[in-house]
Amino acid sequence: MTLTLPEADATIIENKKTIVQDLKNITTNILHSDDEVKPYETDGLSVYRQTPIAVVLPETTEQVSKVLKYCHDNKIKVVPRGAGTGLSGGSIPLADCILLGMGKFNKILETDFDNRCVVAQPCVTNLAITEAVQFKNFYYAPDPSSQLACSIGGNVAENSGGVHSLKYGTTTNNLMGVEIVLMDGTILKLGGKHLDSEGYDLLGVITGSEGLLGVVTEVTVRILKKPESVRAVLIGFATIEDSGNCVADIIAKGIVPAGMEIMDKPLIIATDNYAKAGYPRDVEALLIVELDGTTSEVDTLIDKVLDIAKMNKASYNRASNSDEERLRFWKGRKAAFTACGVLAPDYICMDGSIPRNKLANVLGYINKLSKKYKLNVANCFHAGDGNLHPLIMFDSNNPVEMKKAEDFGADILKYCVKVGGVLSGEHGIGVEKRELMCEMFNDNDIQQQLNIKNAFDKKNLLNPGKVFPLLHRCAEGGRMHIHKGKDKFPDLPRF
């Protein structure tokens, strides 16, 4: 599959030998032969591939700073990479770039229980943070499905969420500080072990900036005490509408569950076949509701949720009575992506967020599209926070199907925006959705974002070609505020 990336600078590619030699003066951890750089040609969005001119694997913040400064001074593009599990192609290299692999930044630097935080290097995995503090019954709340492999630095770049975001927030709400290196080599500390730094919230802008503003070299995250009790209920419905209404009613009753997940029938069958989770197979939608808190609180809320489910015509319900049983409920859901791998040679996982009350509407539309494109789709949905993950199945050996799958995905995301949602809940825009940005934003909005990019990286060398559309203007020119026939800000650089 071809992907349009910013035009490669032939001089840089020609100068590869000199560049590699220069970088060797900063660190000897450089990979540059074809065989060596091949493993870095893609990330979690593996349909797109491109090798960089070299891969640099720094070990210290000072080395990161020197590499970036060298590249800045010599106008060489840099693409940062954490664990490479990102699903929107944010770490896909450019033909004329240095790939900055942060893999050697893999140590937890401090577990500070007194200040309830962990200081870690960016390539520590998400799960390793919880593992480092669980002996004292603490944990790190955001839990993306890839938490075993994805890095905490990557979580910062993509503002990763997980199944518990409704109650505990995403990365941005659990991040206390970072050390970052700007493209010109400046090392900055943002935030720390205190709460709410004053001045502009640069930490907030960095989070979810997809590696375009700086390279994270250290992360401080908040850790929480594990709840006393956690229980889950499985609820089956004859229609998707009923499951959506049930979710709305639970929230309307003032209950904020730790997690609420819906799967549609194709996914119920696929995950149950794969993980033997014991799901009911005669329902159209399966809702998992997890509640946490003190024992009596959780028991009371479970009863309330079951009552609400009954009122919404639930045809099946089962509450977990042990932690083993609760984990079994999750086993299928957490294996959703792997299970779909069995159904078709390839799938793409989309990621839109929508208002919760539009769930049935959007799923109905996805089913219509599935018929139109003649491609199967399975849906899982972080129902609590409106984050939808349709899995579109296709065969990448068939170029027609590949194109259809991409169009299908784009149609879903456009519809998400149309009903009041957004293009990405937690996977980011990357290269995958950048051309759809104009569905949500107009020229002014994107220009403002580019102005911010310019403030951090004036030469546009850090991860270019990601997040923002490569076009010169969003198509709908009429949206621009033209004042008395004049372009309003003629002195500003335009994208």
Q: Which is nearer to another protein, 29 or 173 (CB)?
A: 173
Q: Which is nearer to another protein, 44 or 428 (CB)?
A: 428
Binding piece for another protein, criterion CB under 8 A, among 92-100, 259-267, 324-332, 481-489: 481-489
Instruction: Please tell me whether residue 467 binds another protein under the rule CB under 8 A.
Output: yes
Instruction: Please tell me whether residue 373 binds another protein under the rule CB under 8 A.
Output: no
φ, ψ dihedrals at 97, nearest 5°: -110, 160
Site for another protein in 300-339 (CB under 8 A): 300-301
For residue 105, the one-letter residue type is F
Site for another protein in 129-188 (CB under 8 A): 137, 158-159, 161, 165-166, 169-170, 172-173, 182, 186-188
Q: Which of 424, 464, 466, 495 binds another protein (CB under 8 A)?
A: 424
The dihedral through the CA atoms of 356, 278, 265, 141 has a sign that is positive
The dihedral through the CA atoms of 435, 208, 165, 270 has a sign that is positive
Site string for another protein, 8-37 (x = CB under 8 A): ------------------------------
Site for another protein in 377-396 (CB under 8 A): 382, 385-387
Q: Which is nearer to another protein, 315 or 357 (CB)?
A: 357
Q: Are 437 and 467 in contact (CB under 8 A)?
A: yes
* 326: helix, strand or coil: helix
Listed residue (19, 26, 17) closest to 185, CA to CA: 26
Q: Are 166 and 256 in contact (CB under 8 A)?
A: yes
Q: Which is nearer to another protein, 182 or 375 (CB)?
A: 182
Listed residue (192, 102, 98, 113) closest to 151, CA to CA: 102
Instruction: Please tell me whether residue 423 binds another protein under the rule CB under 8 A.
Output: yes
* 246: helix, strand or coil: helix
Site string for another protein, 80-119 (x = CB under 8 A): --------------------------------xxxxx---
Residues with Cβ within 8 Å of residue 33, at least 6 apart in sequence: none
Query: In the bound complex, what is the minimum distance in angstroms from residue 199's beta carbon to another protein?
Result: 5
Radius of gyration of the chain (CA): 23
Q: Which of 146, 151, 209, 271 binds another protein (CB under 8 A)?
A: 209
Listed residue (248, 235, 258, 268) closest to 380, CA to CA: 268
Q: Which is nearer to another protein, 53 or 175 (CB)?
A: 175
Query: In the bound complex, what is the minimum distance in angstroms from residue 85's beta carbon to another protein?
Result: 15
**H or E stretch at 297:** helix 295-311
Site for another protein in 431-460 (CB under 8 A): 437, 440-441, 444-449, 451-452, 454-456
DSSP letter string over 335-349? THHHHHHHHSSEEEE
For residue 243, the one-letter residue type is S
Site for another protein in 222-241 (CB under 8 A): 225-228
